[in-house]
Structure 1
Amino acid sequence: MQYETKFCVNCATPLQWIVTAEDSGDVSRLRCPACGWTHWGNPTPVLAAVVENDDGQVLLARNALWQEGVFGLITGFMEAGESPEAGITREVLEETGLRAKALRLIGCWEFLRMNQVLIAYHVRVHGKPGDVRLSPELADYQWKTAQQAQCWPAGTGYALAEWIKSKGEPVRFGAFRPGQNPEPDPAKWPVRYWDEDGRFVVAPALD
């Protein structure tokens, strides 16, 4: 559920849409007319994990609020005072009971509908497939090989696609839920590398 900020967190005055000059020019934002506090509405960092076991399988889980048959990656909010690496290690342990032994950054994607930025990691874990102990937030799980896994055209789906590609397998996309668009965004997939150097990607165009 999304909540709207209506009052100044500093003095509790009702916020108003006020135009003020910023680095990019005049910008209208929710601001406090009494003390000048600005509600920036910055995206919330969310961590996502492509969890892989020693058998080369990826863990997909179904949130307890999702309909049957819908599975995704392990995700969670980064907490104050922790690094993304510490945060994703904590989230994997809390959500699955599995301990991470190695991880690497896959990439970052926006999730505009929820005003979030997704930071995705490839996480190798200790234990066997049957060692999963789901948190109350998750209702079910399944292990898939890179050949079996199907991606979805959203941030976490692109992270899964990068993992499948790293395994040398063809990437398949489908709708996350029935009725949704199954096609990936051509601006996000496949990743366009700059000058054939994998450390760079093409910069987005600005309006």
Structure 2
Amino acid sequence: MAYETRYCSHCANPLRWITAAEDGGDVARLRCPACGWTHWGNPTPVLAAVVEGDDGRVLLARNAQWQEGVFGLITGFMEAGESPEAGVCREVLEETGLRAKSLRLLCCSEFLRMNQVLIAYHVRVDGLPGDVRLSPELLEYRWQTPEESLCWPAGTGYALAEWIKQKGVEPRFGAFRPGQNPEPDPQKWPVRYWDQDPRFVVAPQLG
């Protein structure tokens, strides 16, 4: 079920689509006609972890709400008061029982369908493959090599593909669920970093 904001959180009046001047020009947003409060609808930060063990395999897990055979990355919402780095380590520990011993930023991307911004990390963990202890949200898990892994052309699937590519393996894509388009979006894959965007100029190193 999809939820939407319908009432002002300040005065409880119904919101309406109202166009108003902003820094970038006139923009229509849900606004309160009584007190002027604006529902910005900013995307929610979601953390994703490509969890790698010492043997070079990646951990994929199946959410309890997903159909059989569908596996994905370890993900979770960033909490108030924590950094993205602390948040992704917390999520990995909570969801798998494994402690992160090193991490690096892998990529960031938008996930418009869910109004989210995905912040993905490559996380190396302590422990053996059999040490995984799943949270109640997850039903089962598997460890896969980069060659065995099939990426999905949406959301966190591109983060997994980027990790596989950095391992020197050509990523393979397939539908996340039956009936979905198995081909990656050319606007999202390959991952394009800001310093590869012609609109920006890479600043010189400070001496």
Pairwise TM-score range, normalised by the shorter structure: over 0.9
Code of the residue aligned with 2:58 in structure 1: it is: V
C-alpha distance in structure 2 between counterparts of 1:154 and 1:60, whole Å: 16
Matched, 1:189 2:189: yes
Native 8 Å contact 2:50 2:160 kept in 1: yes
Which residue pairs with 2:93 in the alignment? 93
Which residue pairs with 1:157 in the alignment? 157
Shift of the alpha carbon at 1:191? 3.1
Which residue pairs with 1:108 in the alignment? 108
TM-score, with structure 2 as normaliser: 0.92
C-alpha distance in structure 1 between counterparts of 2:2 and 2:174, whole Å: 27
Q: Where do 1:1-207 residues align within 5 Å?
A: 1-192=1-192, 200-202=195-197
Listed one character per residue, the Cα deviations across residues 9-41 of structure 1 (whole Å, up to 9, x for unaligned) are 111111111111112221111111121110000
Listed one character per residue, the Cα deviations across residues 23-80 of structure 1 (whole Å, up to 9, x for unaligned) are 2221111111121110000110100000000010100000000000000000000011
Report the number of matched residues.
Answer: 199
Code of the residue aligned with 1:6 in structure 2: it is: R
Native 8 Å contact 1:191 1:201 kept in 2: no
Shift of the alpha carbon at 1:201? 2.4
TM-score, with structure 1 as normaliser: 0.92
Native 8 Å contact 1:2 1:114 kept in 2: no
Listed one character per residue, the Cα deviations across residues 153-196 of structure 1 (whole Å, up to 9, x for unaligned) are 01211100111111111211111111111111112212356xxx
CA RMSD of aligned residues (A): 1.4
Structure 1 stretches of at least 4 aligned residues deviating more than 4 Å after TM superposition = none
Listed one character per residue, the Cα deviations across residues 74-122 of structure 1 (whole Å, up to 9, x for unaligned) are 0000011111001000000000000000000011111111111110000
Native 8 Å contact 1:120 1:156 kept in 2: yes
**Unmatched runs of 5 consecutive residues or more in structure 1:** 194-198
Code of the residue aligned with 1:116 in structure 2: it is: Q
Native 8 Å contact 2:158 2:191 kept in 1: no
